[in-house]
Amino acid sequence: MYDELLLPADGSPAVEAALPHALGLAELYDATIHVLYVADTDRDSLSVIGGEVYDALEQEGISVVDELVERIEARGIDCIGTVAQGGPREGIIEYVEENDIDAVVMATHGRHGVERLLLGSVTEHVVRTSPVPVLTVRVTE
């Protein structure tokens, strides 16, 4: 039923609320977890350091994904980590469609505070537009 699960990660503590649910489903269904970090290209994140172009969001994404993949694989669960660029809303849905994802597990909010209020929640968008079931996990302060 659920062979491929997607766990979007944005580097916020909210992913910690969704992670146990993704792990539980993966263990129950012997599923692979895909960890996806979308480096938001709508935000300015490029710097030049020592003549090299450095994308802070992409580097953060690599760190976040690597840490989660390591934790998931330590539980004996197959895991694929990906850092993509683009808008998080569209990037998550695109990843679902291109990777035959069976379900998405994500928190109800991340770290975008006022921006979330002004532009709308990434989770809300995914729930409304996802072609697969979305398990949302409420994060309390």
* CATH number (domain holding residue 62): 3.40.50.620
Residues of the domain holding 43: 4-137
pTM attached to this predicted model: 0.84
Residue 57: its pLDDT value, please? 72
Residue 53: its pLDDT value, please? 37
Structure tokens at 88: 């998080």
CA angle 29, 35, 39 (to 5 degrees): 160
Burial-class residue 40 by CB neighbours within 10 Å (0-12, 13-18, 19+): buried
3-class secondary structure, 130: coil
Q: Would the CA dihedral through 22, 96, 73, 78 be positive or negative?
A: positive
Query: Which positions ≥6 away from 121 have C-beta within 8 Å?
Result: 108, 109
Looking at the 3D structure of the chain, how many domains does it have? 1
Write the pLDDT tens digit of every residue in 96-112: 999 999 999 999 865 45
CA angle 137, 83, 61 (to 5 degrees): 75
pLDDT beneath 70, residues of the chain: 41-56, 109-120, 141
